[in-house]
Structure 1
Amino acid sequence: MKFSHIFKASTCATLASVFAVSLPLAMTAAQAETFTKREFQNKDRCFEVRKVGALIEFNTRGIKLRSASRSWQGNMQMNGARVVNKHHDPVFIQTKRTLEEQHTTLIPVGC
């Protein structure tokens, strides 16, 4: 049986427009369902505190006090004596220089 026999022409046109409008809605309804919900959110941020020491460079040849040298050791006046031409190492004062200051760093962790 046809719709035109049961309903008037204007009713058929209205039903056709309802189906045309509901068809895209039915297609979107097949997608994911969404909903809203009230909840409390934790907006706190937690960190681990880590202290970092200063980075210091040490220079073992900082300030020179005395150059390398040689000296004679023993009695050269005595016949058959043993003498040594002794080597003396250079002498330096160690210096240090700070490359990076000490600081505290915060590392993000879960609460």
Structure 2
Amino acid sequence: VARYAEENEKKFNASNAGMVGVDPKTGHVLVMVGSRDYFDVSREGNFNVALARRQPGSAFKPFVYATAFKKGYTPETAVFDLKTQFQTTCDSEGNPLYEHVDPEE
């Protein structure tokens, strides 16, 4: 992280950096660095950017597109931005409206 933090600060005006290393076979977290320098108050170093809640931005796009393609959408499919109402399976408190059905039964 330290090696790339300075480079990214120059390129992207990013004053902090974090990293999470994951074993691709097991999914276990092998290493996590939460900031460039924990004690650097000017960069909010004690803020763990690796665990910080962030808006996902474009990170969801591959999943959305893959699901759409599986359902038959193509790049030429027009999707209109209209007010839409979806059927919910939970009440306003997050409680299921339907009983759990075990497909194995």
What band does the TM-score fall into relative to the shorter chain? under 0.3
- Greater share of residues in helix: 2
TM-score, normalisation: structure 2: 0.18
Q: Which has the larger radius of gyration?
A: 1
Instruction: Tell which has more relative contact order, 1 or 2 (C-alpha 8 A, sep 6+).
Output: 1
- Greater share of residues in strand: 1
TM-score, normalisation: structure 1: 0.17
